[in-house]
A and B are shown apart, each in its own frame.
Chain A
Amino acid sequence: MIGLNDISFYYPGKEFSLEIPQLTIVEGTTTAIIGPSGTGKTTLLNLMAGYFTPQEGKILIDDTTISSLSEKERSAFRINTIGLVFQEFELMEYLNVLDNILLPYRLSSSLKLDKKVVERAKELAKKVHIDDKLNRNVNKLSQGERQRVAICRALLPEPPVLLCDEPTGNLDPENKLIVLEFLMKEVKERGTTLVVVTHDHQLLPYFENVIDFSDFKSKFGMQKPTAEAN
Chain B
Amino acid sequence: MKDVFYIAWQYLVYNKLKTIILVLSIALIVFLPIGLNVVVDQSARSLTERAATTPLILGAKGSPLELVLNSLYLESDMPETMPYRQYTRISAYNLSTVIPLNTSFKASQQPIVGTSLDYFEFRDLELASGRTISFLGECVLGAKAAEKLEASVGGSIMSTPANVFNLAGIYPLKMSVVGVLKPTGSPDDEAVFVDIKTAWAIEGLAHGHQDLSKPEAASGVLKKEGNTIIGNASVKQYNEITPQNMDSFHFHGNDQDFPLTGIIVLPTDEKAATLLRGKYLSTEETVQLVKPIDVMNELLSTIFTIQNYVVIAVVLVGLSTLATSILVFLLSLRLRKREILTMKKIGGSRSRIFAILASEIVVVLLMGIVVAAILTGFVSFFGATLINELLLN
Chain A contact residues, CB within 8 Å of chain B: 46, 49, 51, 71-72, 75-80, 82, 84, 86, 90, 92-95, 99, 103-109, 113, 137, 153
Contact = CB atoms under 8 A, between A and B. Distances in A.
B349 interface: yes
A77 B347 CA distance: 8
A82 B347 contact: yes
B346 interface: yes
B344 interface: yes
Interface in B317-373: 338-339, 342-350, 352-353
B341 to A, nearest CB: 8
Q: Which of B339, B342, B350 has the most CB of A within 10 A?
A: B342
25 contacts: A49-B345, A72-B349, A75-B349, A78-B347, A84-B346, A90-B342, A90-B345, A92-B7, A95-B7, A95-B10, A103-B346, A104-B347, A105-B3, A106-B7, A107-B3, A107-B343, A107-B346, A107-B347, A107-B348, A107-B352, A108-B347, A108-B349, A113-B3, A137-B14, A153-B346
Contacts of B350: 71-72, 75
Given A92-B339, A93-B14, A79 B348 contact: yes
Interface in B1-31: 3-4, 6-7, 10-11, 13-15
> Which range holds the interface residue count of chain B?
20 to 34
B14 A75 contact: no
Given A46-B345, A104-B348, 18 more contacts: A49-B345, A51-B344, A71-B350, A75-B344, A75-B348, A76-B347, A78-B345, A90-B338, A90-B339, A90-B342, A90-B345, A92-B7, A99-B10, A106-B7, A107-B346, A107-B353, A108-B352, A113-B3
A138 to B, nearest CB: 11
Contact of A76 (B10, B13, B338, B349): B349
A94 B15 contact: yes
A78 B349 CA distance: 10
A86 B347 contact: no
Contact of A79 (B13, B338, B339, B346): B346
Contact of A104 (B15, B338, B346): B346
A93 B7 CA distance: 11
B333 to A, nearest CB: 15
Contacts of B14: 93-94, 137
